[in-house]
Structure formats: structure tokens, C-alpha cells
Structure 1
């Protein structure tokens, strides 16, 4: 494993380092947004669902646009640099927001940056390594991304523990954002990636392979039950986790994902992507059932959140490696664009439905709905996509 990791190209490691720094800024704020929304802006779960749903759905539309354009131009790095720069500029401005529509606008700008960079970055990763090492490459990237998600909440907890107001913590995110932009400026296109050949822009989903379209249908079903992670933090707070420990709880989740992402994603290069994804979806369903039924703070709550970290490790990199396996040559950007669009657009109804069930019925109803979607998606993935996808596994 160590030899395989050290032999990965410079681009893979640099993209991982960029994600680490970027997530240090992003995840420093992520656990604080629901607290800021409820305690400073005086808004509830429905507003949170609206903000996160609109922001993520918009990002996903732009992921398709940027993915298609990357296939047209064969240039990924300008989109990556601009996307990280826009997101980094928006986050510190949250400190000056006085009402939830302003928070919506800045979360929107942050997610626009994510939308412009994600598909080009994924395509750049996929073209930087051979097919039999995609799981390892995407796993390493997710591990470093999750490392940033450990550092960020720890920084937030440290700053809050030192007595800084929530508004000042948002301002501190400007420092890692600037470093991230400097690192992104050092990215280079892989040799032979830039082509002068004229290509038409092709958005059509119907022209992608049938097994990829079926996989996207499974992703859509799963995502309908995969609302914003901020609801998990809201639930933890309601169950009795102290405010200052909420960032630490999310850091622990990210630490589990960081440690397990590379070996689990690398394992998919040998045993198959679908097997790991099915296991991950099943784990997600059990986690949500448990979180909906649990009665209070305690060891079981922390064990459940650790299990959620394993779900992230078993799925985040593997999902994208499977997209690269199923994508036709020369259309990986478009394939990643449709994958990201599918997942992101479904986040809007997912977050709205979850928020409505959470506030209008009961938390257990919202978490049970999400668990049902995950379990159904696991079955459909195994029965509908698995047989054909497994034949594509590298030898």
C-alpha cells in the first residue's frame, strides 16, 4: 500500500493537499452554521433545509456545465483555481450577515465555486492514473479531504474555547482559503490532455452508456434520503451534546473517514466497487435508524457517528471511481457532471423533506425515511447495476 501511494503522480497528491487546506477552512465553519442560524439569525430547521437544498442543487447544475466544458476544451485547471478562489472569498463574509437570506446568498456563492471546480477536478484525477489505480487515487483524495475536515472543526473548537464569538471564527477562515488558492495555482494539466481538436458540447444523458444511467438512478434514490449533514449536528445538539463539543464530534467522524478512505477505496480496485457501495449504503441505513430512535447523549451516540465515518470512507471515493469505470473515453467530465448533478439536485427535495418531517412530525420520522431510501438503493444497486459493473473491474 505504501509503495503504491508514493508512486501516485504529483497531480494526485497536490489535489489532495488542496482539498485538505480547503476543507480546513470549510469544515471549520460547517458545524457552526446551524448554531449560527439558530442562535444568531433566529431561524429553524426549515430555513436550514431551504438554504442547504438551494445551495447544493445550484452547485450540482454547475458541476454538469463545467464537466461538459472540460470535455470540450480538455482544460481542467482554470476551473479548479477559480472555483476554489470564489468559495474562499465567500466564507469569511458570513461574519457580516444579519438575516438568513444573507447566509443563503453566501452559501450559494460558496457552492457555485464548488460546482465550477468539482467535475474538472474529478476528471483531472481520473486521467492522472490508470484504471486499476483509480480507487486508490480517489481514496487518497478523500482521505486528505477528510483530514481537512478533522483540522477545521478542531480549529473551530479551539477558537470557541478561547472565547471568540461565532462571527470572528468565520473571519479566520480567510487564512486557509488564501493558502488553498496559492496551491491551486500550481496545478498543471497532464501531458497530452490539452487538445486543439474541435469537439461539440454534448449534454445528452441518453448518449451515455445504459449501465451508467442505471447507476445514476440508484444515486438519485439514495440521495433522496441523504439530506444535509447539518441535520446530524442539529440532532446531536438536541440529544445533549454541548455546543463546544459539536465541532469535535464532526471532527471525530472525519477522522474515521480519513483513516479508512484510502484502504477501503483501494480495496475496491481488487474486490469491486459495487460490493463496497452496497455495504456502505446498508451502514448508512442502520446509522440513520439508530440516530432517529436513540433517546439521548451517551456512548451509543458517539459509536453511531463513528459508523457514519466508515460509511463515508466506503462510499465517497468508490462512487467516483465507479463513474470513471463506466464513463466512455473522452467523456469523463460529462459523466462526472451528470453524477454530481444527480446527487446535488436530489439534495434540494431531500433537505426540504427531511426538514419538514423533522420539524412537522418528529426526528424519528425524518431519519426513518432516509434509512428506507438507503436500504432500497442498496438493493437496487446490487440487483440492477452490480452484475454488469463488476465485469468492468480492473484485473
Structure 2
């Protein structure tokens, strides 16, 4: 099982950023994502307290809502990519997804009862699933072929700034206005509406097939066979297998909390620490992926995750192991999130780019949901240390196998690459 190291996309000259610069379209989409993440994460931060304290629902009810929040977008991501490719309108498919999420924010202010909140959270997550692949396809189309991972890094850094600001703004509001959940929801709605407006007015309507026709290249219509590209299939298998060993941030934080008082005392800020590292490393690791090899950086990211598991297993207490775990976890996301989209989009014809990105994101999301469920059962059966050790050993075995496969592919590719 291997993936070609030659994952650079074919040149598409229309509307590209010049070499060494990030397209204004990428930055604008980053601002849209920043505002949308402020909207979604401010709600996610207060949702547990709102449902259990303000609405008086049980922890079981919150568990159902949280499961919807984490997983509902996974099942529609490939559908959003497919519609984008079929219609050749990625901007407006993404716009519909953002608009759907903004719609859910407006009704959340007036929602009463478990069923209403669960339905609105589902609508919001469906909107996220619809918009993700078309938006990433626009980023890939707007970036220089040799700088796509860097472009995704810029976008993801801005996106993560919003993910960090949302909870902070929510907690500031609740500190100033105790019980002011309605104020948080109004902030969320306003941020989402501004983001949708910027997308509709400022982001150009990139149409891959029309742009290829304008350059004299006969545009290929979307075909499902595009997704049967062997390199894409291998990528999906590999990232799916590795994602089955990705247990999720919450379990790592709970493991750190269970080990010592430092993590327990600062638990609410552990998420902020991971996001801060992500913001700092997203662009440098994207640049490294474009220069050194995107699939290699994917492997490097999973080595970082393995290091995070090791830090969580270290019996030593105090700030050192906890901060190292957060740094390695943030590096893992910076090396895999945007880079995976850049790799998947480069392995197929541009007519199927959004579908390929959506397929990769769907596989990762579904496998991580399975991993979280399985690890929860494993923790219940074996305990914290033993269950984490099992996953760390499996990851330690999987990553070298991936490295060996990559090296074998590189050796096989050299004669062809040397040919004129």
C-alpha cells in the first residue's frame, strides 16, 4: 500500500496567485471561516452548560446532541463535493452551506426543548458538511500548484483563530452577563451573517470547467470514475487506517487531567493551547509540505500524534509533559488537516476535485468517530494507561509501515521521473 510522492497538481493558470504569494481569495475565505468558527465555537463552548443548567436536560441528552455536533457533518461532506463538481458552482454550494448554518443560529435564540436544539444543531452540522469540500476546492483552484499546502495552511490558521476566539468571547459574555446565553447566541448569529455576506460579495465565482475551457483545454465533466483513481483509493485507505488510531482531543485531555493536578486545574485552557500551536505551525508546515513532500508531512504529523500519546503516558507530573502533549497535538493537526485536502485534490482531475476532498474528509471523520467510540469502550474495560498504551503501540507500528511503503514507491518512481 503506497501513495505516490508526486502529488503536485496539473497547472491551472486562470486566476492563480503569483508564485510566493497567497491569493486574496484564500485570505478572504480564511476570514469567512474565522467568523463562522467564532459563531460555531462560541455556541459549542456554552452548549453543555446551557442544556444541563439553563434547560435542565440530562447528561444523556447532552451526549446525544454532542454526538450530532461531532458527526453529522461527516455524512454529507462527499455529497457537498459531488454537487459542487456536478454543477461547476463551488462558491454557491459553499454559500448554501454557510447560509444553512447561519439560519440555525437565528432559530437557536428562540429554541425551547431538547428536540428543537437537536434539530438546529443537526442543521448547522449539515451546513458545515455541505460547505467544506467546495470551499477547499476553491482554495486549491486559487493557489499556485506548488504552494497549495501553504495556502491551506493560511486558511486553516485563520479558521483556528476563530475557533480560539469563539469560546473566549462566550466565557467573557457569561462572566459579564451571568446566564446571558441569549447574548452568546446573538453574537453567534451576527458573526455567521457577516461571514456569509463576505462570501457572497467578495469571493469570486470560480468555475473549474469553464476556466479550463477558457484556456483552450477541453473541460472534462464530472464522472464517478474520477474517484476510482488508484492513488486516491490508496490515500483513503491509508488515512482511514491512521484515523482509526486517532482517539480525539477530549480523551487526551481527560487522560492528562487524570494524571496530575496541573492539567485538571487548567483544563478549560487545554483546547486553547492546542489551537495556539495549530495557528503558529499551520503555515510553516504547509510551506514544508510544498517543498519536502505533502505525504511525508502527513507521516510527520502522525509521528507528532504518537509523541502526544507518549507524553500523556509519561508518569511524570507537572507542566512539562502536559505542554509538550498540547504542542505535539497542535502540530499533528497543522501537519494533516490542510495538507490532506491539498493531497486529495491533487490526485484527481479538477472536475472531481471537490468530491475527492470531500471523500477524504468523510473517511477521516467517520473513522475518528469509530476510534473515539472504541477507545471509550477500551478505557472502560482496561483503564486509562492500558488503553492509551494499546493505541500508542498500534500507531508506532502503523507509521513505520507507511514510511516503508513511501520509500518503496519513491524507489520505483525514480527511473520514470528521470526520463524527459
Provide the rounded CA distance (Å) in 1 between the counterparts of 2:314 and 2:109. 35
Matches within 5 A, 1:380-395: 380-385=401-406, 388=409
- CA deviation profile, 1:93-143 (whole Å, cap 9, x unmatched): 667777766654333222201110011111111111232111111111111
Structure 2 CA distance for partners of 1:269 and 1:56, relative to 1, 3 Å: same
1:122 maps to 136
Matches within 5 A, 1:97-136: 104-136=118-150
Matches within 5 A, 1:117-266: 117-162=131-176, 164-165=178-179, 167-168=181-182, 169-186=184-201, 187-190=203-206, 193-194=209-210, 202-203=223-224, 207-235=227-255, 240=261, 246-266=267-287
Which residue among 261, 264, 289 is the counterpart of 1:268? Answer: 289
SS in 1 for 2:30: helix
Report if aligned partners of 1:31, 1:233 keep a CA contact under 8 Å in 2.
no
CA RMSD of aligned residues (A): 3.7
Structure 2: gaps spanning 5 or more residues: 1-16
Q: TM-score, normalised by structure 1?
A: 0.83
Structure 2 CA distance for partners of 1:218 and 1:38, relative to 1, 3 Å: farther
SS in 1 for 2:351: coil
Shift of 1:370: 4.2
Provide the rounded CA distance (Å) in 2 between the counterparts of 1:166 and 1:236. 31
1:59 maps to 73
Provide the rounded CA distance (Å) in 2 between the counterparts of 1:98 and 1:385. 53
Which residue among 87, 92, 102 is the counterpart of 2:101? Answer: 87
- CA deviation profile, 1:219-261 (whole Å, cap 9, x unmatched): 1112223244344455566665799954433222212111111
Provide the rounded CA distance (Å) in 1 between the counterparts of 2:34 and 2:244. 28
Report if aligned partners of 2:20, 2:147 keep a CA contact under 8 Å in 1.
no
Residue range with higher mean Cα deviation, 124-133 or 299-308: 299-308
Structure 2 CA distance for partners of 1:84 and 1:157, relative to 1, 3 Å: same
Structure 2 CA distance for partners of 1:201 and 1:318, relative to 1, 3 Å: closer
Provide the rounded CA distance (Å) in 1 between the counterparts of 2:112 and 2:135. 34
Are 1:328 and 2:312 counterparts?
A: no
Provide the rounded CA distance (Å) in 1 between the counterparts of 2:265 and 2:197. 31
1:357 maps to 378
Structure 2 CA distance for partners of 1:170 and 1:248, relative to 1, 3 Å: farther
Structure 1: gaps spanning 5 or more residues: none
1:371 maps to 392
Residue range with higher mean Cα deviation, 6-15 or 32-41: 32-41
Are 1:76 and 2:96 counterparts?
A: no
Report if aligned partners of 1:21, 1:177 keep a CA contact under 8 Å in 2.
yes
Report if aligned partners of 1:157, 1:247 keep a CA contact under 8 Å in 2.
no
Matches within 5 A, 1:268-307: 268-291=289-312, 298-307=319-328
Report if aligned partners of 1:69, 1:201 keep a CA contact under 8 Å in 2.
no
Provide the rounded CA distance (Å) in 2 between the counterparts of 1:29 and 1:360. 33
Structure 2 CA distance for partners of 1:27 and 1:330, relative to 1, 3 Å: same
Residue range with higher mean Cα deviation, 13-22 or 322-331: 322-331
What number of residue pairs does the alignment pair up?
389
Structure 2 CA distance for partners of 1:241 and 1:89, relative to 1, 3 Å: farther
1:318 maps to 339
Provide the rounded CA distance (Å) in 2 between the counterparts of 1:190 and 1:110. 25
Provide the rounded CA distance (Å) in 1 between the counterparts of 2:114 and 2:382. 24
